[in-house]
């Protein structure tokens, strides 16, 4: 008599592979959609954080601080990027948006921060992709009040104003800033 050895038959192995293949076919698109949404959410959180940082720096230092960036539709080499600019008072001009980073708030009369490259940090995320305007900005005074706001879809005279943040997948969020400096995401 022959004794059976523990193990799997070829039919059992094939069935296991078929079940794993079916689960992969169902799960991969769902995982990819979740990954795209998380990229969009992370990009929005970063932008909201940086708007709040601009407001905070303005109130802490007494300077005027501006978050400025170039829309995805811009022809500028820095499209889909943004940075913080600062000036000691309204009597001083804003530094040119395209200048290399220099200075820090509290030294001199102007400051230009480093660029945040949305293309590299959050693939597929686009800032105002359908805008005809090349750039967007929001400026805060020393009290943290938003006194200038161009959302890249035209200058907004009556806040809250918004800008579109879109993922290549079609998912979209809107960021708005009120005069009081409150930042909201819809």
The single residue listed with the structure tokens 């005279």 is 157
Please report which confidence band the pLDDT of residue 186 belongs to, taking 50, 70 and 90 as the band edges. Answer: confident
Per-residue pLDDT at 153 exceeds 80 = no
**Confidence (pLDDT) at 158:** 53
What is the domain range of residue 154?
10-185
**Confidence (pLDDT) at 157:** 54
CATH code of the domain covering residue 49: 3.55.40.10
pTM assigned to the model: 0.82
On whether residue 149 sits in a domain, the answer given is yes
**Confidence (pLDDT) at 150:** 80
Per-residue pLDDT at 5 exceeds 80 = no
The arithmetic mean of pLDDT across residues 125-142, rounded, is 90
**Confidence (pLDDT) at 1:** 63
On whether residue 88 sits in a domain, the answer given is yes
Q: Percentage of the chain with pLDDT > 90?
A: 57
The arithmetic mean of pLDDT across residues 149-161, rounded, is 61
Task: Name the domain count of the chain.
Answer: 1
| Number of other CB atoms surrounding residue 21 within 10 Å | 10
Predicted confidence (pLDDT) per residue in 39-96, tens digit: 999 999 999 999 999 999 999 999 999 999 999 999 999 999 999 999 999 999 999 9
The arithmetic mean of pLDDT across residues 11-19, rounded, is 94
Please report which confidence band the pLDDT of residue 105 belongs to, taking 50, 70 and 90 as the band edges. Answer: confident
Structure tokens at 77: 């080499």
**Confidence (pLDDT) at 173:** 94
On whether residue 101 sits in a domain, the answer given is yes
Per-residue pLDDT at 161 exceeds 90 = no
CA dist 5 and 95 (Å) reads 79
The arithmetic mean of pLDDT across residues 142-167, rounded, is 76
DSSP codes of every residue in the chain: -PPPPS---HHHHHHHHHHHHHHHHHHHHHHHHHHHHHHHHHHHHHHHHHHHHHHHHHHHHS-EEEEEEE-TT--STTTTEEEEEEESSTTSPPPPTTSPPB--TTSSSEEE---EEHHHHSTTEEESTT-SSSEEEEEE-TTS-EEEEE-SSSB-SSS-EEEEEEETTS-EEEEEE-TT--EEE-
Q: Are 178 and 160 in contact (CB under 8 A)?
A: yes
On whether residue 1 sits in a domain, the answer given is no
């Amino acid at each position: 008599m022959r004794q059976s050895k523990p193990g799997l038959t070829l039919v059992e192995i094939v069935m296991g592979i078929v079940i794993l293949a079916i689960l992969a076919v169902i799960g991969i698109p769902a995982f990819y959609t979740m990954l795209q949404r998380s990229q969009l959410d992370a990009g929005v959180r970063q932008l909201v954080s940086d708007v709040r940082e601009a407001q905070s720096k303005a109130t802490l230092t007494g300077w005027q601080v501006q978050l400025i960036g170039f829309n995805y539709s811009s022809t500028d080499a820095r499209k889909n990027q943004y940075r913080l600019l600062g000036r000691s008072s309204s009597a001083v001009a804003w530094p040119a948006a395209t200048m290399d980073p220099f200075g820090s708030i509290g030294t001199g009369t102007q400051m230009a921060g480093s660029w945040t490259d949305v293309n590299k940090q959050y693939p597929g995320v686009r800032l105002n992709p359908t805008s005809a305007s090349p750039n967007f900005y929001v400026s805060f005074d020393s009290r943290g009040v938003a006194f200038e706001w161009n959302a890249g879809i035209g200058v907004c005279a009556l806040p809250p104003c918004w800008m579109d943040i879109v993922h290549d997948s079609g998912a979209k969020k809107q960021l708005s800033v009120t005069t009081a400096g409150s930042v909201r995401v819809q």
